[in-house]
Amino acid sequence: MRIAALYDVHGMPWALESVLAELRNERVDAVVFGGDLVAGPFPAETLALAHGVPGTRFVRGNAEREPDERVVTILGTEEVERQRAWPAAVVLDDVLFCHATPGSDMEIVTDASADEKIAAALDGVEARLVVGGHTHMQQRRGAYVNAGSVGMPYEGEVAAFWLLVDQGEPSFRRTPFDVDSAIDLLMRSDWPDARAFAEDNLRRSVSRNEAIAVFGG
């Protein structure tokens, strides 16, 4: 199978639209949204884009498990409960997709993480590959791969980062989008964090080292 793993979109439809446009030429068999899909400025628009993708699977992230009040207000309690019921993991083609690690949607895995920590997180997992996210930084550590973040990457570059898994082999992808348009739409939204997000993630991008300094390993 060819599977696109789109993680941590965080309510950023312009970034997601660019990735979905690129996927039209990839002939993927499935698309996995790996959690933290709508927590951000445009929850409804982002969710509509995701639901419009054929062959879609959804994984629950920490932001679906504990949505903020604004997301609940915009999407409604019925939709929020539906997202809470998304599975913590899905397995396709012997690849396990989870939000962070198989045992936790909050566990931190970065370049600074010890090999022993990753081995412990994968203990008992029989899948040939585990795809996670949550820390918004692409990396591969043996059988563990972080897909990166479509809408809020910590890569030192403004783009949408995602993963293609082809017959069990992961390939890191990076898709540009119209940043100026994104900033304009964001600043006209009612999202309380709009200005700070634009400064930290659209006019520039948080670097891996900056993120690791906060997350640790």
Q: For position 124, which CATH number holds?
A: 3.60.21.10
Burial (Cβ within 10 Å: 0-12, 13-18, ≥19) of residue 22 = middle
Identify any residues that bridge with 91 across adjacent strands, giving them in sequence order.
Answer: 96
Sheet architecture: strand order including 2-6: 56-58, 30-33, 2-6, 160-166, 169-175
The structure tokens listed for 40 are: 């951000």
Q: Pairing relation of β-strands 95-98 and 129-132?
A: parallel
Report yes or no: 35 and 59 within 8 Å, Cβ to Cβ.
yes
Greatest alpha-carbon pair distance for the chain in Å reads: 48
Closest CA to 210 of 159, 146, 136, 142: 136
**How far is the C-alpha of 65 from the C-alpha of 82, rounded, in Å?**
10
Split into its structural domains, the chain has a count of: 1
**How far is the C-alpha of 103 from the C-alpha of 119, rounded, in Å?**
12
Report yes or no: 181 and 78 within 8 Å, Cβ to Cβ.
no
Distances from the Cα of 183 to the Cαs of 13, 152, 187, in angstroms? Answer: 12, 13, 6
The structure tokens listed for 180 are: 């100026």
Closest CA to 175 of 149, 196, 141, 207: 149
Regions of the chain where pLDDT drops below 50: none
What pLDDT score was predicted for residue 217?
Answer: 76
Strands annotated E in 21-93:
30-33, 56-58, 89-92
Domain containing residue 204: 2-215
Closest CA to 17 of 202, 206, 182: 182
C-beta neighbour count of 207 within 10 angstroms: 14
C-beta neighbour count of 9 within 10 angstroms: 30
